[in-house]
Amino acid sequence: MNLEVIKRAAKVIKGGKFVVALTGAGISVESGIPAFRGSQGLWDRYDPFEYAHISSFYRNPEKVWNMLRELYDICLRAEPNPAHYALAKLEEAGILKAIITQNVDGLHQRAGSKEVIEFHGNGETLACVDCKQKFRITEVDYRNSVPRCSCGGLLKPDIVFFGEMIPHVALERSVELTKKSDVFLVIGTSAQVYPAGGLPVMAKERGSIVVEINLEPTPLTNTVTDVFISGKAGEVLPKLISLVLDN
């Protein structure tokens, strides 16, 4: 964690009039939820591009629900970490206008963030693929078998699988916020899943200053990023936000 770089980023954020953040799986790693890339565990056993593809879900729901079962067990136990709380504080101070998150774990809202666009949906609810009836994960018995609706239809979490469309409203709102931003924070995302990965590029093209926080460089770092802070989101963000809020 380089203090000089963090100070530079704090100055940029202080000068911003419309700050927007894009977050990815990396921000929840310190809450114990493994990301696709980087730290592994779960994804050594389940190739996300196979298991998180919509065609796999319909072809072999038992197999995909084995992965979902483990993921739910981890996510339902997880708590927000200092990175989530720091962003909530920045919003409360009126500086951060919105978070566009690729995560489906609900941790930003649990940390107190209000304006959260869930680009890839949220695992908290499920829908019957046949009659579309909605269920909450807490009222579904998914532990012993593939959960089904009373009509017999499969239950699918309200998350966007690979091969599915981004919910229309989330996509439109994200593009609108991105274009409006003058400072764009990119936190814990490899920016390799599209179209979310294209948002920092769009922000940059519209004249936004891009501040990136990640453990390691990404394809954005040498192309669109203006200030790159290398480190753990849970350590960098509290420090950065306290510098922004201290006068």
Q: Which does 221 bind (CB under 5 to 8 A by kind): Zn ion, ligand NAD, none?
A: none
Radius of gyration of the chain (CA): 18
Our finding on whether 105 is near ligand NAD (CB under 6 A) is yes
Among 10, 104, 128, 233, binds Zn ion (CB under 5 A): 128
**Phi and psi dihedrals of 82, rounded to 5?**
-55, -25
Among 1, 76, 93, 131, binds Zn ion (CB under 5 A): 131
DSSP track, 120-182: TEEEEEEEETTT--EEEGGGS--SSS--B-TTSPBEEEEE--BTSPPPHHHHHHHHHHHHH-S
Our finding on whether 120 is near ligand NAD (CB under 6 A) is yes
Using CB positions, name the residue nearest to ligand NAD: 26
Active-site residue flag, 120: yes
End-to-end CA separation in angstroms for the chain? 22
Our finding on whether 214 is near ligand NAD (CB under 6 A) is yes
Our finding on whether 233 is near ligand NAD (CB under 6 A) is yes
CA angle at residue 123 from 39 to 167, to 5 degrees? Answer: 105
Q: Which does 188 bind (CB under 5 to 8 A by kind): ligand NAD, Zn ion, none?
A: ligand NAD
**Phi and psi dihedrals of 74, rounded to 5?**
-70, -50
x/- site string to ligand NAD, residues 9 to 38, per CB under 6 A? ---------------xxx-xxx--x-xxxx
Our finding on whether 212 is near ligand NAD (CB under 6 A) is no
Contacts of 45 (CB under 8 A, 6+ apart): none
For the segment 182-211, give every residue that binds ligand NAD (CB under 6 A).
188-190, 192-193
Amino acid at 190: S
Interface ranges with Zn ion (CB under 5 A): 128, 130-131, 133, 149, 151, 153
- Active-site residues, by number, are 120
